Amino acid sequence: MIVKHGVRTRPYHALAPAASEIPSLPSTTNKNYRQHHSLLSQCKSLKSLLQIHAHLILSGFQQDHSTLTNLINSYSSFKKCGSALSVFCSAQNPSVILWNSMIRAYTRANKYTEARKMYNSMVEQGVEPDKYTFNFVLKACTAALDFEDGVLVHREVARKRLDSDVFIGTSLIDMYCKMGDLESAREVFDRLPKRDVVACNALIAGLSQSEDPCEALGFFRKMQTWGLRPNLVSLVNLVPAVSRLADIDSCRCIHGYLFRRDFSSVVSNGLIDMYSKCGDLDAAHQVFDMMQGRDDVSWGTMMAGYASNGCFVEVLELFEWMKGENTKMNKVSIISALLAATEMRDLEKGNVIHFCASEQELDADVSVATSIMTMYAKCGEIEKAKQIFEGLGKGDLVSWAALLSACVQSGYPEAALSLFRDEQNEILKPGGITLISVLLACAELSYLKLGMSIHCYALKANIASDISFGTALVSMYAKCGFFTSALTLFNRMPCKDVVTWNALINAYTQLGDACHAIDMFCELWSSGIMPDAGTMMGIISACSILTDLDQGTCIHGQIIKNGCEHDVAVKNALIGMYCKCGNIHSAQLLFNRTRFMKDVVSWNVMISRYVQAGYAREAISAFHQMKLENFQPNLVTFVSILPAVAYLAALREGMAFHSCIIQMGFLSNTLVGNSLINMYAKCGQLNYSEKCFIEMEHKDKVSWNAMLAAYAVHGQGVDAVALFSLMQESSVQVDSVSFIGVLSACRHAGLVQEGRSIFQVMHEKHRLEPELEHYACMVDLLGRAGLFNEALNLINTMPMEPDAGVWGALLGACRVHSNVKLGEIALSHLVKLEPRNAANYIVLSDIHAHSARWGDSGKTRSMMSDSGLKRTPGCSWVEVENRVQSFLVGDYNY
């Protein structure tokens, strides 16, 4: 055995093959010396290399340093560092070149610690490093992110006055850029007496990742004034800066520069990414279409571009295209496809993508597995998501936190809490990120007790002082209605950021306390903390709740001053606010003058805002305009437009949309199915609603509730009760909406006994407390059946104050039975609750008229007039030439 430089090795003659196995090689004369080196450089397999090595030993070349250097380099190309070290150890008094070759071999094999140790041994043995030594060591330190050692090497370089060498300088620039220390990188660059394009490229790469990517563009222009012509690497390094700027003009300039120098085909993937981040997906797809040989990176980049811009239909189309061409998929394409299926809640497509990931052995990757798990969780398949999580192995807190977060974000906070209870004792103790997700679930469900328990745990674990955790606590207490506790926590927090303020503002807004939300916004402004886009969205929502156009306009002015107007989410919130306040003109102006290129997402926002504000005709007009401008509607578009069709009862429009949905492959989506059930029911086609419900592949709780509501609209009480029973038998969790649907059906059909039974089991069996809507249904049911004493007794025993809906139901029942006395009692309450509602006076006037009490009828009408109220004219809709037209009573313009 040989022991040298701390390494125990076997002599190479022991590894040599038999003489008969050695291939025909040149003789050992000096004139064939170069041929040995040529053979080493051309060696294609490890077996051949071993044979050549054995022949060189037998031929007496084992101490020639040039030959040993070539051998080390050859072993390095096969990542055989052990064999390379054996060759190095066989040398007597290794030269600096041999040391450099060994350091380089370790660096190429990603063994950075060994490379650093080799350098230390070299220095200890008195061998003087040269510029190549320092270059290889700096690359090892950079790759290992060992910046502390890298700075020490820099000091040694400076001591030897080698930092002016462009070769070493470039390595130093690269190291400092990757450290994020751009100032030191610029200092190294500025000290170089002679700069080349390679050094410039290293600095461009660092500046492209800096906080201000404009610096990279500025430097790119400056290097050309020095007479340095950018090469392909320069442009590849510049692409991330242009992508981050999302500046379409700069993007086109770079593309043109690449095209003129015939580089565009080489950096096509970068161009696709660049155009995608600028929002110009047409240009990105054009580059993709023109590519001669697309690889998995090209497909993944294009799919990621569509996904980041919310074009999920296009992502899934590319996925199907890839499948059709049998193209190998990578992590990026699978994750992008999973994101699209997740956002579209398309479980069927998600299953297909999961199968493809398994088939190509990509599901073992943690990021892919987490994406699969998130997809199942957000599609409501919590058990499958849990199975994927368990396959990742216990103790993976990041995946656990992702699973809990997905459940909360998708509207399954109960599942998140259940998973938390199931798993917390089986894996590592939950950390701050996990507990934040649990607190968000507690906030959604108003689970104050559990939230307080987590607060106690956090105090013991010393994580309650974390600003993110503190913000989640403030949000939890506020959303549970404990604003005193939330404010106490908020005031005690040593450090508050804008997100903490946003938590309180949004909590006030979500609970409908818009005035306090605006007060908090004013405090934030006076505290000197700059509001962000999240703040602005919260305060815009508050203005929407108050329908305060003046306040909303003032906030819009502040948004412009604050530079948040160009944030897409803020812009959409502003459009919604103007629509809610009845200022459709301003909403339309804002939509039209947006500086962002319109895409299908922008149209979807405009359509959904129209629908939410009750402007159904404008929503349908926007849909047709969208088509005229050659924008392809996606799943979200149809989910947004179908309620407008339902509101107008525009059956022909609805059937046309249904046809498009089938053609575009959206029919299997549960959200679309639910919207179709509601649309056909409102259009008077109950049989079509039933057909849609029966044919749905994946029904959720909303699907059953939509069908119950459809039966209620059509007065099919018996069918509704039967469906409600089937819903419980099918283990579908009924909720308060389910009871509203079935009780409404009972009241329309006069099913008193069934209604009583259902109302009773609501609390006794399902542990659901009746809300105002449920009481209104029961009062209406009992009143229409003439059971006024029971109806009034129910009102008097309500655990909360009856609202206008309850008293309005009683007034309506009095109209059916001409119950004047009780009708007057109901109106006395309604006048206090809805003083500006003329309909209440009209109903009581009609009750008086039906009882031939004409004087009282006239008095009631006079009371209405004295209050300054006028009767709202009736309105009806009709389809004329595939367009919905509205008609008002007394309108003779048609």
Distance CA 326, CA 320 (A): 10
Q: Identify the pLDDT of residue 419.
A: 67
Q: Which residue's structure tokens are 């004139």? A: 31
Close Cβ partners of 192 (under 8 Å, ≥ 6 residues apart):
164, 166, 169, 199
Q: Could you tell me the sign of the dihedral formed by the alpha carbons of 492, 498, 502, 503, in that order?
A: negative
Beta carbons within 8 Å of 242's beta carbon, 6+ residues apart = 213, 217, 250, 251, 254, 274, 278
Q: What would the 3-class secondary structure string for 658-701 be?
A: HHHHHHCCCCCCHHHHHHHHHHHHHCCCHHHHHHHHHHCCCCCH
pLDDT for 598 equals 62
Q: Which residues of the chain have pLDDT under 50?
A: 1-32, 427-428, 595-597, 888, 892, 894
Q: What is the pLDDT of residue 637?
A: 93
With 0-12 CB in 10 A as exposed, 13-18 as middle and 19+ as buried, what is 99? buried
Contact 872, 838 (CB under 8 A): yes
Q: Which amino acid is at 190?
A: D
Q: Sign of the C-alpha dihedral, residues 192, 198, 201, 202? A: negative
Residue (of 348, 285, 291, 346) closest to 318 by Cα position: 285
**φ/ψ bin of 326: left (φ > 0), alpha (ψ from -120 to 50), beta (otherwise):** left
C-alpha of 517 from chain center? 26
Given a contact cutoff of 8 angstroms between Cβ atoms, the answer to whether 336 and 350 are in contact is: no
3-state secondary structure of 102: helix
Cα distance between residue 198 and residue 233, in whole Å: 8
Instruction: Give CA–CA dist 86/736, Å, rounded.
Output: 76
- The answer to whether the beta carbons of residues 284 and 311 sit under 8 Å apart is no
The pLDDT tens digits for 429-479 are 555 667 777 777 777 777 787 778 778 877 777 776 677 788 888 888 888
Tokens of 590: 């804002």
289: its two tokens: 């279409």
Q: In the prediction, which pLDDT does 822 show? A: 87
Task: Give backbone dihedrals phi and psi of 871, rounded to 5 degrees, phi first.
Answer: -75, 130
Given CA atoms 466, 468, 472, 474 in this order, what sign does their dihedral have?
positive
Find the helix or strand (DSSP H, E) in which 879 lies: strand 875-880
* pLDDT per position as a tens digit, 521-578: 888 888 888 888 888 988 999 998 888 899 899 989 888 887 777 677 788 788 888 8
Helix, strand, coil shares of the chain as percentages rounded to 5?
Answer: 70, 0, 25
pLDDT, position 885: 57
- Measure the CA–CA gap between 246 and 278, rounded to whole angstroms: 4
Backbone angles phi, psi at 4, to 5 degrees: -150, 135
Tell which residue, 688, 631, 633, 699, has the closest CA to residue 660: 633
Q: What are the φ and ψ backbone dihedral angles of 880, each rounded to 5 degrees?
A: -125, 120
CB 272 within 8 A of CB 282: no
Please report the pLDDT score of residue 431 as a whole number. Answer: 58
> Which tokens sit at 751?
């099913």
